[in-house]
A and B are shown apart, each in its own frame.
Chain A
C-alpha cells in the first residue's frame, strides 16, 4: 500500500511539473543542450579576447545567444501581453523596428548622410523613436480594439507599409552614424566583456516585473483575454486594455530597434529585423502561452526567446543557410502547436488513461 501511495504522489509531482508552463521552454533548452554536447562540446566554449581597441570581450556561441537573444526577449515581453489580451499576434514588429531604427538615424544624422558628429543627443533620438513606435503601436491597437479587426490582419497593414515608411523617413538613403558611444548599445561598453543588449534586456525585464507587481495590468490583461464580455461586465474596459498592450509592444519595438541600428551604425530597410516577427511569436508559443489569449507567463516567454536564439545559433553552427533557417523553425512551430492543441492533448490523455486502466486490470487479474 505504502509503495502505491508513494508512487501516486510521485506521479502527482511529475504531473505538476509537466503541467507547469515553464516546463516547455526548459525541456526544449535541455534537449538542445544535450544535442550540442553530444555533437560538439566546443559549442559551450567561451574565450576572453580583446577587441581592436584593447577592451576585454567575451566571445563564443553562448555569448552570441545572450547577445542576439536579448532583442528577441525584449520583443517577447510585448508580444506576450498582446497575445494574452487580444488572442492574436502582431506580425508588424519587424517592419516597426525598421521604422524605429530609421527614426533614430534621422534624428542623429539630420539631413546629412554621414555627418562627422551626431546632430542630437542619443537619448533624444531614442525618445523620439519611442514616441513614433508607440504611435504606430497605437494605430494597430485602434484597429484591433476599436474597429474589431483580427490582430494579425490589422497588423498586416503595417507589415506591408512599414519598410516603405522606414525608407521614406530617410528619403531612401542610408545614413551612417560616426559616433563611438552609439555602438555601445549593440556591442560592448569599454571595460565590460558582456554584450550590452543583455543588460538592456535585464533592465526591460526588471521594469516589466515592477509594473506587473505594482499595477493590475497583468490581471486585467489576463481577464480580458479569457473572457472579454465578462470582464466588461466586471467594470474593466477591454478595448482600452487591448489598446494599451499594443502601445507597450511599441515601446519594446523601439528598444529592439535601438539595439539593431546600433549594431551596424546604419540601416538596411529590407533586411533589418527580417522574419523577427516569426521568432517573437515562436518565443511566445515556446513559452507555453496559449496563442488564442488568456493566461500568460512573461518569464517563460523570455526563456523561450533565448531558447529560439539557441536553436538559431545551433542551426548556424551546422552551416544551415540563413534563408533556409525558416524551414526548420516552421517545423518546430508546427510540432509545438500540434502538441499544445487541446484536441491532441485530450486524445493523448485518453490513450494514457486507457493504458493505465489496462495495467491496473492486468494487475487485478494477476
Chain B
C-alpha cells in the first residue's frame, strides 16, 4: 500500500466532527499568525488575546447552549433576547428595588430556565418547529425588555460594581507600557465562568451517556428512538440547558457591560449561531464539538479585531465579514455532506462488486 492511499484512508477515517473542528482551528491559527505578521506586535501581547476573551465570555456561554441545541437538531434564536431581558431585569432589581447580587443571579437563572422550559415543551412535546418557537421567544424577550424599562441606564449598586470591576491577574503575562511601567495582564470573572461551562459541556457531551444521546437524536431521530433513547425528553433537555446557559450568559454579559438596555446583545443569537457553525457544528444535527465552538467564537472576535485594526472602522464591515465567513463555512459543510454521501455510495459499489464476482464464480463452479 502506497503512502498516498494510506493517508487517504486515514483522511477517510476521520469523523465529520473532528474534520470540521480541525478546519476551524487551522483557520483560527492561520488568521492569528497573519494578524501578527501583517498588523504588528499588538497581536503578540497576551492582553490582546485576554481582551478578546473578556469581551466574548458571554458569547462563549451562549454559543455552548446553541451548539447543544444544534447538535440535537434544533435551533434557538432567543438567546440574544434573553440576554437583554436578563441584564435589564437584573439592572432594575439592583438599582430600583435595592436588591443584592445573589438575588439578581437567581433572577438571571430563573428567566433563562423559564424560557428553556416553555420553548423546550413547545418544541419537544408539541412538535412545533424550533425556529418559529424561538423566533417568538426572541421577540417576546425583546418586547418584555422594553416593558420592564424603556431607557438604558448604568447600574450604581456598590456590591455589583465591585464584582464587575474584579480583575483576575495572570502572573507573568503582563507587558511594559510606553512609560516603561509594568502592566499586569488580567481576565474578568466571566471568563472563568465561560471556561468552566466549556469544560463541563465538553466532558458531558463526550463521555456521558446522556451526552451521547444528544448526538444520537440529532443524527437520526428514528434510529435513536429504536435504540431506546427518549427522543422527546432529550430535545426538551437540550432546550432547557440552552435556556439556562442563556440566563448565565446574560448575567456574564451584564457583568461585562454593567448596564441595562433594550438594545443590548442585539445580534447575539446570530453571532452564537455563526460561531457554532464556524466551530463545526452541523445544522442538520448530530455533528459538533464544544472546543470547536470555543474556537468559532474566538475566530469571530479575531475578525472584529482585525477589521478594526486595519482601519475599516465603520460598523458595517464587521457584519459583512462575519456574514461572508458564515456563508463560506455553510458551503464547506454542504460540500462535506455531499462528499460523505458520494463516499458511501462508492464504498457500497466497492462492497457489492466482489460479491457479484464471487457469485459468478460460484455459478461457474455449479456449472462445472
Contacts and interface: CB of A to CB of B under 8 A. Distances in A.
Contacts of B317: 164
B15 to A, nearest CB: 20
A147 interface: yes
Interface stretch (A48-56, A127-135, A322-330): A322-330
Point out which of B138, B139, B320, B337 has the most chain A C-beta atoms below 10 A from its C-beta. B139
A185 B146 CA distance: 33
Interface string A71-105: 00000000000000000110100000000000000
Contacts of A158: 323
B103 interface: no
A31 to B, nearest CB: 19
Contact of B128 (A143, A153, A160, A341): A341
Interface residues on A, range: 35 or more
A329 B330 CA distance: 31
Interface stretch (A10-18, A34-42, A332-340): A332-340
Interface in B137-166: 137-140, 142-144, 146-147, 150
B283 A149 contact: yes
Contacts of B122: 334, 337-338
B67 to A, nearest CB: 14
Contact of B316 (A149, A168, A326): A168
Contacts of B315: 164
Main secondary structure of the interface of A (DSSP, over half): helix
B21 to A, nearest CB: 19
Contacts of A329: 139, 143
Contacts of B131: 88-89, 150, 152
Interface of B: 75, 122, 125-129, 131-133, 135-140, 142-144, 146-147, 150, 262, 267, 270, 273-274, 277, 283, 314-320, 322-324, 326-327, 330-331, 334, 337
Interface of A: 88-89, 91, 143, 147-150, 152-154, 156-161, 163-165, 167-168, 172, 275, 278, 281, 285, 291-292, 321, 323-331, 333-334, 337-338, 341-344
27 contacts: A89-B131, A147-B331, A150-B75, A152-B75, A153-B283, A156-B270, A157-B323, A160-B319, A163-B319, A278-B139, A321-B147, A323-B142, A323-B143, A323-B150, A324-B143, A324-B146, A326-B140, A326-B142, A327-B139, A329-B143, A330-B143, A333-B135, A337-B128, A337-B129, A337-B136, A341-B127, A343-B125
Given A147-B334, A161-B320, A164-B315, 4 more contacts: A148-B334, A150-B131, A275-B139, A330-B140
